[in-house]
Amino acid sequence: MCLGIPGKIIDLYKQNGLLMGKVDFGGVLRECCFAAIPEAKVGQYTIIHAGFALNILSEEEAQATLDALQEIADINGELEPDQE
């Protein structure tokens, strides 16, 4: 299964002829390729998979996705046996 993670675009620039950018994932910054969505703008939210921006999201869509991922992590934590 593949999973795309939402993040906020904080910078866009050209590098070696490709549109690249920096994306903020809750305080963790990563460089990503934006060649597939050249219409992206700083301040928007995007889904990133394997270092590539796939599409633009609203802030509400991004937050709903992050909330769902957190809920999955919480459930997974409850299902794991105690590590004592």
Distance (Å, rounded) from C-alpha 13 to C-alpha 81?
46
CB 44 within 8 A of CB 61: no
Q: Which tokens go with 53?
A: 């921006």
Say what the pLDDT of residue 22 is.
Answer: 98
Confidence of residue 83 (pLDDT cuts 50, 70, 90): low
pLDDT in tens, 8-35: 999 999 999 999 999 999 899 999 999 9
